Amino acid sequence: MLHSGISMRRGLRVGIAALILSLTAPAALSAASPDKPRSEQAGNHEMGSQIRRHEGVGPTARSTATVAASGVQGMDVSSWQGTVNWSAHYSDGRRFAYVKATEGTSYTSSTFSAQYNGSYKAGFIRGAYHFALPNKSSGATQAKFFSDHGGGWSADGKTLPGVVDMEYNPYGSTCYGKTKAQMRSWIADFSNYYKSRWNKYPAIYTSTSWWNQCVNSSFSSTNALWVARYSSSVGTLPYNWSYYTIWQYSDSPYDKDRFNGTMTQLKAFATNRD
C-alpha cells in the first residue's frame, strides 16, 4: 500500500511537470518548431516565404528539368538552411548563390558569414540579400544597415550586387500601409543609397502580383529584376520590365534560381559598375 502511494505521488509529480512543460515549451521553442510555418516566425523571413504564403506554389513547380537545362543555375539560402554542403551543390551544377544578411534594421543572420564565405570557398559567385520592412524605417536607413552587415559590393567578379527583397508584409497589410507612390519612393531611397555607396544598383527581388499591387512603377532602367514564380515558365514580368536577370523558379527542396544568361554574363554582372 505504501509502495502504491509513492508511485501515485511520483506519477502526479510527473504529470504536473509534463503539464508545465506543455504550457511553456511552445513559447521557448517556437523558433525551432517544425509545425510553425517559417513565414510566421517573427524577425527572420526567408526570401519568398510571403510569396509562397500568398500566391502558393504552382502544380508544375517541382517539374523543373526544362528550366534547369538553360541559363546558369543558382540557389539562395538563409539561416533556415543552417550548414550548407556547398561542394555538393557546386558539383550539382550550381554556380551562384545569394545569402540572407539582414531584415529591417534589427535582424542580422547568425549564419551569414559561414554561408557567404563557404559558398565563395566552394567556387560560387555569391551575393547578399536584405528582407525589406518598408514600414519600419526609411529605405536609406535599411540600405545602410544592410551595407554595414554584409551587403556590400565590390567589382571583383565574385561578388553579386546586393538585393532588396520586396514582398508581402509578414506582419500586417500587404503593402505595409503605403500607397504606390510612397512605396516607389521607399525603394528609390534604398536603391539610391546603395548606388551612392557601392557604385552599383541593388537588384530587386519580387513577384509580379505583389509589385503590380503595391508599386506599379518602373525601375527597369536602373535595377536588375529577380522575379519569383514557382512554375515551369516565368510568366508575365512586373510593370515595365521586359527582361529578368534572375528567376526563382522552385522552392523544393531548397530555393532554386536561374540566371538569364551565360556564365560570362554572370561574371560581368558581378564586375561591371553602374
Residue 114 C-alpha cell reads as: 559561414
Spatial neighbors of 218 by CB under 8 A, at least 6 apart, are: 239, 240, 241
> Do 226 and 204 touch, CB atoms closer than 8 A?
yes
- Cite the active site residues: 76, 165, 167
Give the C-alpha separation, 207 to 52, whole Å: 10
